[in-house]
Structures are given as C-alpha cells and as structure tokens.
Amino acid sequence: MGEPANHHSCWRLPVQGGLLAALAGCTGPLSTLEPSGPAAASIAGLWWVMLAGSAVLFALVLVLFALVMRQPGWGSRVSPARWIVLGGLVLPAVILIPLICYALLAGERLLPLPGHAPARIDAVAQQWRWTFRYPDQGGLQTQDVLHLPAGTPVDIVVTSEDVVHSFWIPRFAGKIDAVPGHATRLRVQADQPGRYEGQCNQFCGLGHAEMHFTVIVDRPEDFAAAVKQAAASAEEKK
C-alpha cells in the first residue's frame, strides 16, 4: 500500500516545480502579462482570451476523442463529408470567429487614433544603443535611459540609423520596428511612477543581446527636471 503513495510523491515535486517555474515566467520587468499601462493591459487581456478560447476548443476535441474511444461505433451514422464540415469548419468557427472579433476590437484600442496630439519622444536605434530625444523639452537627449511622465499618453517616434531594430517595452505596449529612413509611431502610457525595462526585440547583429534600455516613469511634475538631469548626465559621459 505504501508504494503508490511514494510513487505519487515522486511525481508531485517535479509537477509543482514546473508549475512554479511557469508562473514565475509570467512576472518580471519584461513580462507582457504584468501590464502597467492601458495598451499593455489590452494585449494581456487578448492573450488570456485567446488562451481560454484555445482551451475550450481543445476540450471539445478531447470530448469527441473520448466518445470515439469509449464507444467505437459512436458517430458512424454521420458521413465522412459531414464530419469534415462539422469538425473541421463548424466546431473551430464557433470559437475562432468570436476570438477574431475580440482581437480586432483590442487592436483598434492600440492604435494612436487622430485627435489631441500627446507629447512626443524620438527613439533612435543604432548598434548597440538607444538615443532618446525630447522635442518638447528643448531637444534634450538621453542615452539608453527613457523618461516618461506617469499617467500621460506619449507618442514614441521610432527610427534607426543603421539596420532594422525593434522598440519594445513589454509592460507598456506592443513592439514596433525601427526602420532606417522611416519613422514609425507607438503610443504608450505608463500608469505608475517606477523603473521598468525595454529592449530591442529584433536580432540586429552580434551585440543584440546587450541592446536594452531603462525606462524611468516620473511624476508629471518631476518629468522636466528628471529629463534635464538625465541629459546632463549623458553629456558628461561622452
């Protein structure tokens, strides 16, 4: 009687360890499932909805599989053509069509729609660093440190001086390419002051792994002074 209990205990620890490791991967400075802004929250919500939809579809397929295994003659009255239509088209469509509609709505919320133009910050990528310019702050610039005001939408205008890079702050918004000779725009908003992380998410050469940057979200009243201090510090390091 003792062997089955020991057997189960041997499996329990690896399973629990695997679950803890999987959950740990959902948090951290580069986690898209720990959003700190409205755009990132929309992306995380879409991820959870997609996960739930895929789980439901997988469960339905398993139910059909179980019925066939337990009752081999089950479903034999249905023609193969009807099985293809019902199982290959109707069943996925019941789940996928609502998911597509939700994804389109979530995508619309991520777009920098026309209207009041928020503050602008230019992000210039170059192997292997990021330069951030603040036109609204007299053209000051910082190196590998991006300052943002909390609770305020900001348009990040992204470009590159050499190869294609990708600008990404996982906890604030989706990623966008930095293309030489072309400016792309990403609207971000940080909910709370604090320290966050961003990175290049496009392989751009041997130094790609080190092409990350720090994001410091300041209180709105402290933002201008923080940018000025960071720009002075960047100038001293040159």
Q: pLDDT (tens digit, 0 to 9) for every residue of the chain, 238 residues total?
A: 444 445 445 555 554 555 454 544 566 777 878 888 888 888 888 899 989 988 988 888 888 888 878 877 776 777 888 878 887 888 888 888 888 888 888 777 676 656 566 889 999 999 999 999 999 998 999 999 999 999 989 999 999 999 999 999 999 988 999 999 999 999 899 999 999 999 999 999 999 989 999 999 999 999 999 999 988 887 777 6
Q: What is the pLDDT of residue 2?
A: 47
Question: In terms of pTM, does the model score above 0.85?
Answer: no
Give, in order, the Cα–Cα distances in Å from 55 to each of 48, 58, 62, 220.
Answer: 10, 5, 10, 42
Give, in order, the Cα–Cα distances in Å from 44 to each of 3, 19, 20, 213, 233.
Answer: 44, 20, 20, 22, 35
Q: What is the pLDDT of residue 166?
A: 95
- Give the C-alpha separation, 82 to 151, whole Å: 54
Q: What is the pLDDT of residue 21?
A: 47
| Closest to 64 (Cα-Cα) out of 91, 82, 89 | 91
> Within its chain, how far is the Cα of 171 from the centroid?
7
Q: What is the pLDDT of residue 10?
A: 54
